[in-house]
């Protein structure tokens, strides 16, 4: 029995993995990773895999980055953790100062959580509580986009709309208002991204006009709906949304957990719309992919609604045990240093262009309906019929074939259903991008030319997709 197999057997005896049907591993080998370096992950038998998905979208400067490593090592000898209620520490203060300075003007307060879902919960609770403190208790509903995803905790699920994640728990979720997504994949032929996004905003305008008296906030993923299949839209939608939220007296929550820190071509996606949200949710790349940390940023206007004498009970009594953990803050500070010192956003423009060039030939593939890109995120959508954009039944798991082929070739590509995507660390080289494009092209050929016989049940849900 090889080392990989030994570790796999030990794993399967005791672990329950996330976002996984564990029975799959009766046929699909689990891959134990021994070490990482740069864009590479290495298993216990020495095989390397190029991490094209940044280990679930968190890693920006490579595995075991020496600069981030050193900052954490220095911090662990100083302070590993301290309660953040009534106490503070240097890394969390410095990180907060830097986030306030680098984010859109007006975001002046940082509230920390442990992960992206928890950060969304913070924003939702703050918005609801703000209106309560402002003596407008009827404002307690949330507006969200179809095909959106904001996390796996209860309130975060409630403002999402990917059925695979939410359908089972529908009875437990908040009643939210869903508005059609501006997703430009669905635009009519010949219509531009901007024109389609403007047209799709009309539904949001009408929803706010009719419901603003009971709506606390609108929450969206700016520019890219990640778990919804890397669907993309034009920044003008965000510009119109900010104006409408101001006009109707509704908060705007931007979930930049996946798209913040350079993923869309600017440091934050909302910069491309020239707006400031009332709440900006950050996580994932915040620590360079090292440690769980999230920041919910908000304004002095929101902060002031909670600032009062204790007996009024206006305080925001929300907490996490590891809020503002010093080691995570140290990793975040090192990550921000790299952004500042290495001209990352500008360098990414060349990498993004290389991604476009390397995959341009797939536009003509008979089973590819679209190759779309926003900054350092590129997605290739496989379809059963190109002309009508008819999707493959999700039960056929075409993306799984791409995943398996990529592993054989030494790449970690983890499609979202039939959407193959690149979301690599920023330290990837042009040659490595070419390699990924080659592997993806081969995998798409294999996945789309094979006949797969799957019985589709009578309760078939066409909007479900393999989570990837």
Terminal-residue alpha carbon distance, the chain:
29
Q: What's the CATH code, domain 65-340?
A: 3.40.640.10
Residue among 326, 436, 399, 438 nearest 71 (CA): 326
Contact predicate 291/331, CB 8 Å: yes
Residue carrying the six token digits 């407008």: 136
Write b or e for each residue in 284-311: b if 16 or more Cβ atoms lie within 10 A of its Cβ, otherwise e: bbbbbbbbbbbbbbbbeebeebbeeeee
- Extract the tokens encoding 288: 């360079």
- Asked if residue 100 lies in contact with residue 111, where contact means CB atoms within 8 angstroms, the answer is no
222: Cβ contacts below 8 Å, ≥ 6 apart: 235, 238, 254, 255, 256, 259, 264, 269, 270, 273
What integer pLDDT is reported at residue 468 of this predicted model? 54
Contact at 8 Å (CB) between 364 and 342? no
Give the span between the Cα atoms of 436 and 420, in whole angstroms.
11
The three-state (H, E, C) secondary structure of 331-383, written as one string = HHHHHHHHHHHCCHHHHHHHHHHHHHHHHHHHHHCCCEEEEEEECCEEEEEEC
Rounded Cα distance between 383 and 286, Å, is: 34
Residue closest to 95 by CA, chosen among 297, 305, 257, 388:
297
**Tens place of pLDDT for every residue, the chain, 468 residues?**
899 999 999 999 999 999 999 999 999 999 999 999 999 999 999 999 999 999 999 999 999 999 999 999 999 999 999 999 999 999 999 999 999 999 999 999 999 999 999 999 999 999 999 999 999 999 999 999 999 999 999 999 999 999 888 999 999 999 999 999 999 999 999 999 999 999 999 999 999 999 999 999 999 999 999 999 999 999 999 999 999 999 999 999 999 999 999 999 999 999 999 999 999 999 999 999 999 999 999 999 999 999 999 999 999 999 999 999 999 999 999 999 999 999 999 999 999 999 999 999 999 999 999 999 999 999 999 999 999 999 999 999 999 999 999 999 999 999 999 999 999 999 999 999 999 999 999 999 999 997 776 655 655 555 555 655
Q: d(Cα 120, Cα 296) in Å, to the nearest integer? A: 8
Residue with tokens 């797939």: 362
If DSSP codes are grouped into helix, strand and coil, which group holds residue 66? helix
pLDDT score, position 376: 98
| Rounded-to-integer distance, Cα 325 and Cα 292, Å | 9
Contacts of 331 (CB under 8 A, 6+ apart): 68, 71, 72, 287, 288, 290, 291, 293
User: How is 81-103 classified by DSSP, letter by letter?
Assistant: ---SSS---HHHHHHHHHHHHHS
Residue 426 and residue 257: Cα distance in Å, rounded?
17
Q: Is 125 annotated as a binding residue?
A: no
- Going by their DSSP bridges, the two strands 231-232 and 224-225 should be labelled as antiparallel
Distance between CA atoms of residues 245 and 57, nearest Å: 29
Task: Report domain extents, the chain.
Answer: 30-63+342-446, 65-340
| CATH fold label, 30-63+342-446 | 3.90.1150
- Is 149 labeled as ligand-binding? yes
d(CA 345, CA 461): 40
- Give me the residue label for tokens 């900054």: 375
- Distance separating alpha carbons of residues 175 and 191, to the nearest angstrom: 34
Contacts of 132 (CB under 8 A, 6+ apart): none
468 is in an annotated binding site: no
DSSP 44-89: TTS-EEEETTHHHHT-SS-BT-HHHHHHHHHHHTT-S---SSS---
Cα-based distances in Å from 59 to 20, 22, 286, 292: 21, 25, 9, 12
Residue in this structure with the two tokens 């995943």, named with its chain if needed = 403
- Residue 414 marked as a ligand binder: yes
Is residue 258 within 8 Å of residue 284, measured between CB atoms?
yes
pLDDT of residue 451: 75
Q: Per the annotation, does 117 bind a ligand?
A: yes
319 is in an annotated binding site: yes
321 is in an annotated binding site: yes
Handedness of CA 289, 79, 67, 297 (dihedral sign): positive
Interatomic CA distance for residues 70 and 65, integer angstroms? 9
On whether the CB atoms of residues 240 and 247 are closer than 8 A, the answer is no
Identify the H or E element spanning 200. Answer: helix 193-211
Helix or strand run (H / E) with residue 330: helix 326-341
Alpha helices of 216-325 — where are they, by DSSP H? 236-248, 300-304
| Apex 166 CA angle, 233 and 31, nearest 5 | 85
- Enter the tokens of residue 8: 């796999």
Say if residue 364 carries a ligand binding annotation.
no
Same CATH fold, 65-340 and 30-63+342-446?
no
Question: Comparing C-alpha atoms, which of 42, 33, 36, 38 is closest to residue 426?
Answer: 38
């Amino acid at each position: 029995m090889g080392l990989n197999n030994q570790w796999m057997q030990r794993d399967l005896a005791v672990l329950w993995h996330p976002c996984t049907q564990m029975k799959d591993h009766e046929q699909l080998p689990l891959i134990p990773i021994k070490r990482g370096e740069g864009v590479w992950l290495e298993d216990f038998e020495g095989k390397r895999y190029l991490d094209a998905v940044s280990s679930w979208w968190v890693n920006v400067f490579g595995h075991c980055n020496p600069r981030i490593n050193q900052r954490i090592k220095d911090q662990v000898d100083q302070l590993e953790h301290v309660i953040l209620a009534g106490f503070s520490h240097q890394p969390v203060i410095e990180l907060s100062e830097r986030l306030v300075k680098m984010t859109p003007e007006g975001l002046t307060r940082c509230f920390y959580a442990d992960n992206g879902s928890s950060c969304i919960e913070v924003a939702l609770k703050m918005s609801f509580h703000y209106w309560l403190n402002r003596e407008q208790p009827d404002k307690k509903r949330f507006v969200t986009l179809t095909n959106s995803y904001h996390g796996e905790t209860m309130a975060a699920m409630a403002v999402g709309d990917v059925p695979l994640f939410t359908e089972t728990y529908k009875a437990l979720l908040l009643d939210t208002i869903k508005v059609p997504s501006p997703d430009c994949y669905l635009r009519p032929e010949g219509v531009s991204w901007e024109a389609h996004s403007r047209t799709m905003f009309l539904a949001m305008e009408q929803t706010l006009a009719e419901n603003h008296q009971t709506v606390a906030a609108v929450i969206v993923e700016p520019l890219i709906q990640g778990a919804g299949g890397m669907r993309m839209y034009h920044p003008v939608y965000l510009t119109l949304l900010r104006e409408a939220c101001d006009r109707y007296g509704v908060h705007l929550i931007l979930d930049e957990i996946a798209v913040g820190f350079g993923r869309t071509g600017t440091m934050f996606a909302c910069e491309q719309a020239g707006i400031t949200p009332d709440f900006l949710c950050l996580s994932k790349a915040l620590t360079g992919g090292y440690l769980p940390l999230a920041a919910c940023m908000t304004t002095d206007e929101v902060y002031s609604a909670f600032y009062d004498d204790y007996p009024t009970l206006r305080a925001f009594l929300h907490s996490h045990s590891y809020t503002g953990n010093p080691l995570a803050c140290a990793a975040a500070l090192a990550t921000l240093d790299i952004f500042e010192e290495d001209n990352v956003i500008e360098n990414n423009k060349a990498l993004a262009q290389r991604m476009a060039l390397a995959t341009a030939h797939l536009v003509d593939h008979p089973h590819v309906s679209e190759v779309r890109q926003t900054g350092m995120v590129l997605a290739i959508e496989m379809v059963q019929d190109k002309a009508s954009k008819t999707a493959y039944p999700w039960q056929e798991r075409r993306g799984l074939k791409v995943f398996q082929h990529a592993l054989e070739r030494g790449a970690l590509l983890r499609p979202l259903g039939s959407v193959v995507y690149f979301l690599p660390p920023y330290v990837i080289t042009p040659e490595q991008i070419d390699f990924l494009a080659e592997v993806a092209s081969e995998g798409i050929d294999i996945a789309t030319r094979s006949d797969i016989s799957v019985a589709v049940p009578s309760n078939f849900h066409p909007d479900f997709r393999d989570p990837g």
